[in-house]
Structure 1
Amino acid sequence: MKHRIFALLPFFVFVVIFAGAGIISKDFYSMPAYVAFLIALFIGFLQNKKLSFNDKLAIVAKGAGDVNIITMVLIFLVAGAFSGIVTAAGGVESTVNLGLSIIPPQFMVVGLFIIGCFISISMGTSMGTITALAPIALGVSQQTSFPVSICVGAVVCGAMFGDNLSFISDTTIAAVRTQGCKMNDKFKQNFFIVLPAAIVTIIIFFLTTRHLSYTVEVGDYNFFEVIPYLVVLIGALIGFNVFAVLFSGIILSMIVGIYNGSFSFLESFGVIGEGMTGLFEISIISIIVACIIALIKENGGISLIIDVIKKSVKGKRGAELGIGILVLLVDFCTANNTVAIVIAGPVAKDIGDEFGVAPKRVASILDIFASVGQGLIPYGAQLLTAAAIVKISPLAILPHLYYPILMLVSVLLFIAFRPQKDNKKPVPTEVEPAEAEAETEPIK
């Protein structure tokens, strides 16, 4: 069944069901993504009569049991645990108030963007950042002559910065694990691509708000509560083992929370569990998608996609642009950048191997294009949440989302002016178990 478009039927079924339900109900979260993926997986099992049901089970089990998928799921759960415990310990509120206390009033909107960058890169979640900062953005708007859409736009921009870069972001984890590269290699590659976009965003926010004057009341903060964030951020940047960094953050957050009376020792485990629950869905989705991709690959669907891209593009630049467009379109259909990366990641890996594109470049391109899409679609969770908190339309926020647009410009320039010496020889198409296991070792 190689090179037959029929092999891609499970993916088309998912898009029709998920996107169709969103269009009909005008709510892209009315249909749980994992339900749509389960239906798509069922369709995959009905294909290829040459294989028995048990043979297909063996194929999907091998796909779901891939070391990258299992590692990714475990990191999701531990990252969720850290996010839950550090928030309950007061880390988010103290971090926000600390940032506000050191920012001059004339730079307040710029400050909202910068604080959003710091919190999102520390927490690894754009949704958590928006939830924490959107009420503050509303307060800044109420105390000043700033339109609330500008203030919230700065928050969303900052949230997407860290969502694309953080070592504990589910998008970063998915991009790195699907490509089999090192976390800090992807971070360095990614950071220098988006840094110009962040700098220009700061300039734009400053120029558009500098003529307005205002005062802002800042709440209390406890620097002790900010320490877990700093430890995780610094440890990740240095290149320590991601599990060691996250567990250190969890333990420190437990100590902080128990010390300041936020929760007792026994209650802390319940808080950790609640944090992990927040990432259960994406963990299950990752496993189901791995099963679907395994069947599609077995039936020749992946080979078909690679052949189409090979005929449509020329050289490494074309391959990189093709990967970016692929994940961007998937994000438009799924309204979830992590899901988009999980779906497009295996295909991008094969394309990268075929054209000799370094895994860290593929991971960066995947993450950036997915974040661009997620930061601009008005039906995505980020804009819907921000708009709901401040009670405005998501469309009102769109004109002020400078960072996702500039991020797209940056990555297109990155592709257009790529160094020709990069990764001349194609990388292996398979990640050996020993090599994959080495990814969990401390990075020197």
Structure 2
Amino acid sequence: MTNTTTIIYNGVQIINPKFLLVSAFMITALVSTVTGTSWGAAGTIGVAIMGIAGGLGISLPATAGAIVAGAYFGDKLSPLSDTTNLAPIAAGSELYEHIKHMLYTTLPAAIISIIVYLIVGFNSSGQTTNPETVDTMLSQLDSMYSWNLLLLLPVFIIIFGSVKKWPAVPTMLSASFISIILGVVVQGFALKDGLASLVKGFNVGMTGTETKIIWEVTRLIDRGGVVSVTGTTVLIFCAMGFAGIMSVTGMLDTVLNSILKRVRSDSGIILSTIFSCFIMAFVTGSSYLSILIPGELFKNTYVKRGLHPKNLSRTLEDSGTVLVPLIPWSAAGAYMAATLGVSTLEYLPWAVLNYAGIVVAMILAITGIGVTKLSTKEKVEFKVAFGIQRDEKDV
């Protein structure tokens, strides 16, 4: 927790009025990439940035949109993110090649977002003031933590592990245990509290502070642990069970044939995947179901057509993960609206990355740019792995 707090503490202090929207996007993107949670990033640094925006007279819907966009940038690319891990599982690709392949759509969408936020920022007006709440947050964080560059070590381990393609689980566990050691050595936390935080999450009482802590700081610190993802884990199992039932009973084949009967091209397959993700997202309001169901639906079809599964996993994230927070009745949309104090429909136009990525994905599908094909050998290997019957073309 101390490494995340270090990033948030310093990020809050560098925001400039003219660059607030860009700062909101980039800082939130950094925090969500490091932590792997869009909700956590929006509920921590996002809340602080919203307070600053209110004091500066900057548009709250625009700020909220930038925060949501930044939060889902990290949600798409972080090896710690549940959806980033779920998409390659659903598609049959590999985690780090999935992340690398998403750069084709996510980086252009991020660049477009930054350009929009810069233009809006330079044309906005506001007074340079520092909200009292933010001052209080920084003061209380100062009293609870000893800031040290060593606290960023777990962050660098995650980033280095991603670059070197280390196994995700050992890398995350190593970073977690090093965080506990740093908490004990640098912050003076009790070892038992550090170990307990792995299960139940961190809470402000573990810092030993006797000062009355404001709600914003408590919201920042009190989270995490295995228990916090129990609901998500159960939902994933249920969703995979639902997908399995649809597959075994033949319902998926019926839906697949209905969608694909007029599709004759690779671009049509990818565009059909995007359309299917849209349907699942709007009907269920769940990012997990909008990844799992279309993933099961199109998994074999991509391989049969000689398309690498990482094309599918990228498309699932481009059109499933990022769309859900723009839907008012979804859990993500409701959470973002409640946390940031701006309705979903108000911040929707400003969450540029969320829909720009979908547009870029469509363009790539039509042009064929960034669409990876399977070699004959790879096609045979994936058919064997997926249990697909081979034909004479595979020889």
Normalised-by-shorter TM-score class: 0.7 to 0.9
Task: Confirm whether residue 373 of structure 1 aligns to residue 373 of structure 2.
Answer: no
Q: What letter corresponds to residue 423 of structure 1 in structure 2?
A: L
Q: CA deviation at 1:215?
A: 4.6
Among residues 253, 262, 280, which one is paired with 1:312 in the alignment?
Answer: 262
Work out whether residues 93 and 132 of structure 1, in 8 Å CA contact, stay in contact via their aligned partners in 2: no
For the pair 1:285 / 2:235, whether they are aligned, the reply is yes
Partner in structure 1 of residue 33 of structure 2: 121
Determine whether 1:151 maps to 2:63.
Answer: yes
Residue among 52, 77, 82 paired with 1:165: 77
Question: Given the alignment, which residue of 237, 243, 250 partners 2:169?
Answer: 243
Contact 2:106 2:357 in 1 (8 A): yes
98-107 vs 153-162, which moves further: 98-107
Alignment partners' CA distance in 2, 1:186 and 1:101? 34
1:267 and 2:178 correspond: no
**CA shift in 2, pair 1:162/1:415, >3 Å:** same
TM-score by length of 1: 0.72
User: 3-state DSSP class of the match of 1:312?
Assistant: coil
Amino acid at match of 2:315: I
Cα distance in structure 2, aligned partners of 1:127 and 1:390: 11
Distance change in 2, residues 1:104/1:223 (3 Å): farther
Identify which of 150, 175, 179 aligns with 1:253: 179
**Is the 1:175–1:364 contact (alpha carbons within 8 Å) kept by the matching residues of 2?**
yes
- Once the two structures are TM-superposed, the CA of residue 235 in structure 1 deviates from its matched residue by 1.1
Matches within 5 A, 1:35-54: none
> Deviation at 1:145?
1.7
Query: RMSD in angstroms over aligned alpha carbons?
Result: 2.3
Q: Which amino acid aligns with 2:319?
A: F
Map 1:134-145; keep pairs closer than 5 Å.
134-145=46-57
Decide whether the 8 Å contact of 1:157 with 1:375 is kept in 2.
no
- 1:232 corresponding residue in structure 2: 158
Distance 1:138 1:222, change over 3 A: farther
State whether residues 232 and 248 of structure 1, in contact with CA within 8 Å, keep that contact through their aligned partners in structure 2: no
Local SS of the residue matching 1:392: coil
Which one scores higher on RCO, CA 8 angstroms, separation ≥ 6? Answer: 1
CA distance in 2, matches of 1:330, 1:389: 25
Show the 5 A alignment for 1:18-417.
87=1, 90-102=2-14, 104-211=16-123, 212-213=125-126, 214-216=128-130, 219=138, 222-261=148-187, 263-274=189-200, 275-417=225-367
Alignment-derived partner of residue 40 in structure 1 = none
C-alpha contact 1:91 1:226 (8 A) present in aligned 2: yes
Which residue identity is paired with 1:431?
A
Contact 2:94–2:310, Cα closer than 8 Å, also in 1:
yes
Q: Is the 8 A contact 1:156 1:383 kept in 2?
A: no
Cα shift readout 1:259-281 (whole Å, capped 9, x = no counterpart): 34474111222211121112212
- Please give the secondary structure, in 1, of the residue aligned with 2:385: coil
Gaps of 5+ in 2: 201-224, 388-395
Aligned-partner Cα distance in 2 for 1:139–1:260: 30
5+ long unaligned stretches in structure 1: 1-86, 434-444
How many percent identity over aligned positions?
A: 23
Partner of 1:47: none
Q: 1:239: how far off?
A: 0.5
**Structure 1 residue runs of 4+, over 6 Å off?**
none
TM-score (norm 2): 0.80
Question: Within 1, Cα distance between the matches of 2:295 and 2:28?
Answer: 27
